[in-house]
Amino acid sequence: MQAIDEAGLANTTILRIANRANVSAGIISHYFGGKEGLLEATMRQVLGDLGQEVARRRAAAGGSPRAQLRAIIDGNFDRNQVSRAVMKTWLAFWASSMHRGNLQRLQQVNDRRLYSNLCFQFRRCLPRDEARDAARGLAALIDGLWLRGALASETLDAERARRLAYDYLDGRLARTECLA
């Protein structure tokens, strides 16, 4: 991820990674099954970290839909996740996952998990179709904030991103009376 941050995935060679990790070039192919394998392993790591962070915050949060949804938002804008290196890596994954079956599967599992988690919570206070739209919208908003954060030259303002997502959430929940 540091190498991707420095030079971009296209310019990240096995040798560069090996130098940064203080190992020989050969050992990477040996343990990860080539560059492709290393990429997949890295993606699994990042997705796993994100999932854990979300789960942790959800467990610590209250049981109300709003609290759970806020926990999901918070987890997605966690400090660890929002470093430049991770954001760039994520974007590189997004781009390359469209042309590699293994990465695409990982990507879609993650996407669907976010969507269905959101949808489940919204369903607790909204009718079905409205809950789906709310989940789709919030998922897109989260990804969009990430994307714009990665592209902007400044660091992503995680605080502001969370607030914008909260606002969206409140707007959606305010339409119907929600029990907290």
Partner DNA sequence: ATATCTTTATTGAACGTTCAATCAATAAAA
Partner DNA sequence: TTTTATTGATTGAACGTTCAATAAAGATAT
Residues that bind DNA (CB under 7 A): 11-15, 22-27, 29-31, 34-36
Q: How far apart are CA 151 and CA 169, in angstroms?
A: 24
Q: Does 143 bind its own copies (CB under 8 A)?
A: yes
Task: Determine the residue type at 3.
Answer: A
Distances (CA, A) of 169 to 23, 68, 89, 137, 178: 47, 11, 28, 10, 12
Task: Determine the residue type at 73.
Answer: I
Candidates 61, 72, 171, 177; CA nearest to 117 is: 72
Task: Choose from DNA, its own copies, none: what does 167 bind? Cβ within 5-8 Å by kind.
Answer: its own copies
Q: Does 34 bind its own copies (CB under 8 A)?
A: no
Cβ distance to its own copies smaller for residue 7 or 41: 7
Pick the piece of the chain touching its own copies (CB under 8 A) from 13-21, 40-48, 49-57, 90-98: 90-98
Shortest Cβ 13–DNA spacing (Å): 3
Q: Does 7 bind its own copies (CB under 8 A)?
A: yes
Q: Does 117 bind its own copies (CB under 8 A)?
A: no
Asked if 78 and 58 count as a contact pair (C-beta separation under 8 A), the reply is: no
